[in-house]
């Protein structure tokens, strides 16, 4: 496989964004930001045998997810994804068909949001694939959704369902046995090809004060980040946490998946109680599932409390962490 031939083949034949001045083909890409917007930039890396395995996912699915996790970060800021760059380290077992399919997977998601591939890097490595994706997006000036603005009385919410991706991974690893009546394909797809909640994020950024995180490392971890940044206590209720009806059929202690499983890439955050009804209505109009799961209780010690019947448990910041095993 020739590096320059690969670059020629992955270079888009047409672009979507009018603000792009120069895409792939020079030392760097150039685009003209809009004066009424702020730029949002994020980057994530996926490593073979750490984040993905080709015996679990096809190269197309891996590419799709590599871009999706970044688009989800843009959604968590209330922004719109515009451009992406890909740096890929290719090992000896990475033949042309695999690499092509990886880019096809990314392109499939990029087309959904009219994103343009504007650059990156291609190198060889001796062991495993390493895929690093950078996404550039936009959010209207002053409208970005941060973690530090939650206040007492706010509603705590989540978009979509929780725990499905962790269930899908457990199915792939043969850690659980599924009955014939369970829709295993649903859980597998949620893990392998997550759908970023961009539309929900855009609705969030239309309100004056919304805190937001995407659920990548687990609900407990994401809510703790909001609690720490805002110096508040969040109280959530176990019986309000949204899940697929088949989830408890896969595992009795399904709550572990919901709270700590991660990689659902739904959005969670807080919004003033006075705005909740309008927010919920706008989400429903666009077919977006949104659920109130609790409220912000006050500015005591930053923490997240789970209410389960008569029991209250402080949820630790537990979830996936690369440097803690």
Consult the annotation and say whether 308 binds a ligand: no
Q: Which residue has the tokens 């939650």?
A: 150
- Cα–Cα distance measured from residue 315 to residue 317, given in angstroms and rounded to the nearest whole number: 7
Consult the annotation and say whether 111 binds a ligand: no
- What's the pLDDT at 225? 96
Consult the annotation and say whether 2 binds a ligand: no
- What's the pLDDT at 323? 38
Consult the annotation and say whether 48 binds a ligand: no
Q: What residue ranges define each of the domains in the chain, with the CATH number in brackets?
A: 3-9+17-140 (3.30.1330.10), 155-314 (3.90.650.10)
Consult the annotation and say whether 263 binds a ligand: yes
- What's the pLDDT at 4? 65
Consult the annotation and say whether 27 binds a ligand: yes
Reading the chain (325 residues) residue by residue, the pLDDT tens digits are 666 677 777 787 788 888 888 777 666 678 888 889 999 999 999 999 999 999 999 999 999 999 999 999 999 999 999 999 999 999 999 999 999 999 999 999 999 999 999 999 999 999 999 999 999 999 999 999 999 999 999 999 999 999 999 999 999 999 998 777 788 999 999 999 999 999 999 999 999 999 999 999 999 999 999 999 999 999 999 999 999 999 999 999 999 999 999 999 999 999 999 999 999 999 999 999 999 999 999 776 799 999 999 899 999 987 654 435 4
Consult the annotation and say whether 120 binds a ligand: yes
Cα dihedral sign, 194-200-202-204? negative
- Cα–Cα distance measured from residue 301 to residue 298, given in angstroms and rounded to the nearest whole number: 9
Q: pTM of the prediction? A: 0.91
Q: Where are the strands (E) in 77-203, listed by range? A: 80-90, 116-124, 130-140, 155-159
Consult the annotation and say whether 216 binds a ligand: yes
Other CB atoms within 10 Å distance of the CB of residue 243:
16
Query: DSSP of 224-290, one letter per residue?
Result: HHHHHHHT-EEEEEGGG----TTHHHH-TTTHHHHHHT-----EEEEE-HHHHHHHHHHHHHTT--E
- What's the pLDDT at 294? 98
Consult the annotation and say whether 121 binds a ligand: yes
Consult the annotation and say whether 26 binds a ligand: no
Consult the annotation and say whether 94 binds a ligand: no
């Amino acid at each position: 496989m020739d590096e320059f031939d690969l670059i020629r083949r992955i270079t888009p034949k047409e672009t979507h964004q009018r603000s792009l001045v120069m895409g792939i083909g020079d030392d760097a890409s150039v685009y003209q930001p809009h004066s009424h917007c702020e730029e949002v930039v994020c980057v994530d890396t996926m490593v073979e045998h750490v984040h993905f395995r080709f015996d679990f996912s096809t190269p197309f699915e891996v590419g799709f997810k590599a871009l999706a996790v970044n688009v989800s970060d843009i959604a968590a800021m209330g922004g719109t994804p515009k451009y992406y760059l890909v740096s890929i380290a290719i090992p000896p077992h990475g033949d042309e068909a695999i690499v092509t399919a990886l880019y096809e997977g990314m392109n499939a998601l990029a087309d959904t949001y009219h994103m343009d591939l504007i650059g990156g890097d291609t190198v060889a490595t001796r062991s495993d694939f390493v895929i690093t994706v950078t996404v550039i997006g936009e959010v209207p000036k002053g409208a970005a959704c941060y973690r530090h603005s939650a206040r007492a009385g706010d509603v705590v919410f989540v978009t979509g369902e929780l725990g499905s991706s962790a269930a899908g991974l457990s199915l792939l690893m043969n850690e659980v046995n599924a009955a014939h009546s369970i829709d295993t394909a649903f859980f597998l797809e949620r893990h392998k090809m997550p759908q970023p909640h961009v539309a929900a994020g855009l609705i969030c950024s239309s309100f004056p004060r919304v805190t937001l995180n995407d659920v990548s490392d687990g609900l407990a971890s994401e809510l703790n980040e909001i609690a720490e940044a805002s110096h508040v206590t969040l109280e959530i209720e176990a019986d309000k946490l949204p899940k697929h009806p088949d989830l408890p059929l896969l595992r009795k202690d399904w709550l572990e998946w919901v709270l700590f499983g991660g990689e659902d890439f739904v959005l969670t955050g807080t919004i003033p109680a006075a705005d909740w009804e309008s927010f919920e209505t706008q989400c429903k109009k666009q077919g977006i599932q949104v659920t109130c799961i609790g409220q912000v209780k006050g500015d005591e010690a930053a923490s997240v409390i789970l209410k389960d019947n008569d029991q209250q448990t402080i949820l630790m910041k537990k979830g996936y962490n690369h440097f803690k095993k």
